[in-house]
Amino acid sequence: MAISNKTAFLLLSYGAPETRGDLLPFLQNVTGGRISGERLREAVTHYERLEDETGVLSPLPADCRRLLVSLKTELAAVIPSDNFFFATLFWKPTLVDAITQMSQRGIERCVVFITTVFDTPSNRGRYISAIDGACKTVRENVNAKLNVPIFDILPPLYDKKLYWKSAAECLIEMFTQIQSALDYDPIIESTQTLIMFSVHSLPLHEADKSGYLDQLKSTCGNIMRYTVPNDYIETDFVHPIYSPTDWRVIYQSRGGRPTEKWLETDLPNELKTIRDTGCYHRIIFVPLGFFCENMEIAYDLDRIASEHCHTLGMSCDRVKTVSTSKTILRLVREMAESVVS
């Protein structure tokens, strides 16, 4: 495949602050100034706790930088290495910055990978709208003589076999780690483990119109099919004996007005109910709704959910995101190749 110097690649992410001085401006960008006072301060304390305990406000910036380096290597035969750009929806570098740079360098076409999984207005639609808005800003306010590139946005991931496989690989890696530490029959242990796929909450009206629940059900079901030995699915990894099969979806990161109806999970009560049934003593959290490591995972799952589990006397583990998966890199490359060719 011939490589064109006029073709670029854009990794587009949510964005996150890296200093405490950036916290309030970032949160104001995210909320559009609609939230203030106690709710805004609560969000600030989440970031501050994370920095106090880990040294960073959010793992997202570093994960995106690592991902961009990996994509440059994976796509070396498709996109020139100097033509990779990174932009964020709510922080820096901005889309306007990235598109301006592309236009100044004469980039004519840009392949865009958005770090979201599902196809809803909130998960994906606002990124696409932001690209359109940034292009308009560059044309009207930066330099009317600049020609912005044509943007080829790669499709969502949730219905792709290689995405299911990559998520299953991350789960199986966790299964293998747990199995190696078990002192008793992993087959019995498997029946006492519950997998919780954690996804982003949405307003009920948006979830209904976008088919979000159907997307979740299909995606989780297909991922689980890859985690157990199966005559119908070809895999190249070894399945451990410890392979739990029970799962459910939980929702996190609720936003919006308190009076608005959203998909929600009351996790403390959910976990207590699970413990009281006596059926499960281990929870495995899978951050399915999040492509990269971020503050919401690190705070909501690694800290709050984990603390609830331990208080209830249950073991818990958290699967890493698919952003580190070689299979995901292959999927992005194959999608990019189909666009560029």
pLDDT (tens digit, 9 = 90+) per residue, 264-290? 999 999 999 999 999 999 999 999 999
- Looking at the fold, whether 94 and 135 belong to one and the same domain comes out as yes
pTM score above 0.85: yes
Distance of CA 185 to the CA centre of its chain: 34
Please, which contacts does 274-281 make with residues 24 or more away whose CB atoms are closer than 8 Å?
274/194, 274/314, 275/312, 275/313, 275/314, 279/192, 279/194, 280/192, 280/193, 280/194, 280/246, 280/314, 281/192, 281/193, 281/313, 281/314, 281/315
Q: What is the pLDDT of residue 261?
A: 94
Can you tell me the mean pLDDT for 133-153? 89
- Looking at the fold, whether 151 and 45 belong to one and the same domain comes out as yes
pLDDT band for position 55 (50/70/90)? very high
Give the CATH number for residue 32: 3.40.50.1400
148: closest CA among 134, 160, 129, 165?
A: 134
What residues make up the domain containing 230?
161-324
Can you tell me the mean pLDDT for 284-298? 97
Q: Compute the C-alpha angle 301/304/310, nearest 5°.
A: 100
- Looking at the fold, whether 67 and 200 belong to one and the same domain comes out as no
Can you tell me the mean pLDDT for 81-96? 97
Can you tell me the mean pLDDT for 168-196? 89
Average pLDDT, the chain: 93
Query: Is 251 inside a domain boundary?
Result: yes
- Looking at the fold, whether 226 and 293 belong to one and the same domain comes out as yes
Query: Is 15 inside a domain boundary?
Result: yes
Q: What is the pLDDT of residue 25?
A: 93
**Beta sheet of 109-114, edge-to-edge order:** 84-88, 7-13, 109-114, 150-153
Q: What is the pLDDT of residue 4?
A: 84
Which of residues 258 and 311 earns the better pLDDT score?
Answer: 311
Q: Mean pLDDT highest for which of 32-41, 54-63, 177-186?
A: 54-63
- Looking at the fold, whether 128 and 182 belong to one and the same domain comes out as no
Q: What is the pLDDT of residue 234?
A: 59
- Looking at the fold, whether 124 and 244 belong to one and the same domain comes out as no
- Looking at the fold, whether 115 and 264 belong to one and the same domain comes out as no
Query: Is 42 inside a domain boundary?
Result: yes
Is a pLDDT exceeding 60 seen at residue 42? Answer: yes
Is a pLDDT exceeding 80 seen at residue 68? Answer: yes
Query: Is 83 inside a domain boundary?
Result: yes
Residue 292 structure tokens: 């990269």
Query: Is 169 inside a domain boundary?
Result: yes
207-244, pLDDT tens digit by residue? 999 999 999 999 999 999 999 766 545 566 667 878 89
Q: What is the pLDDT of residue 190?
A: 86
Q: What is the pLDDT of residue 188?
A: 83
Query: Is 1 inside a domain boundary?
Result: no
- Looking at the fold, whether 281 and 142 belong to one and the same domain comes out as no
Q: How far apart are CA 123 and CA 295, in angstroms?
A: 17
Cβ within 8 Å of residue 104, ≥6 positions away: 146
Query: Is 74 inside a domain boundary?
Result: yes
- Looking at the fold, whether 300 and 167 belong to one and the same domain comes out as yes
Q: What is the pLDDT of residue 137?
A: 94
- Looking at the fold, whether 148 and 175 belong to one and the same domain comes out as no
Is a pLDDT exceeding 80 seen at residue 108? Answer: yes
Q: What is the pLDDT of residue 112?
A: 98
- Looking at the fold, whether 126 and 170 belong to one and the same domain comes out as no
- Looking at the fold, whether 66 and 79 belong to one and the same domain comes out as yes
Counting the structural domains of the chain, the total is 2
Query: Is 2 inside a domain boundary?
Result: no
Is a pLDDT exceeding 90 seen at residue 184? Answer: no
Q: What is the pLDDT of residue 258?
A: 78
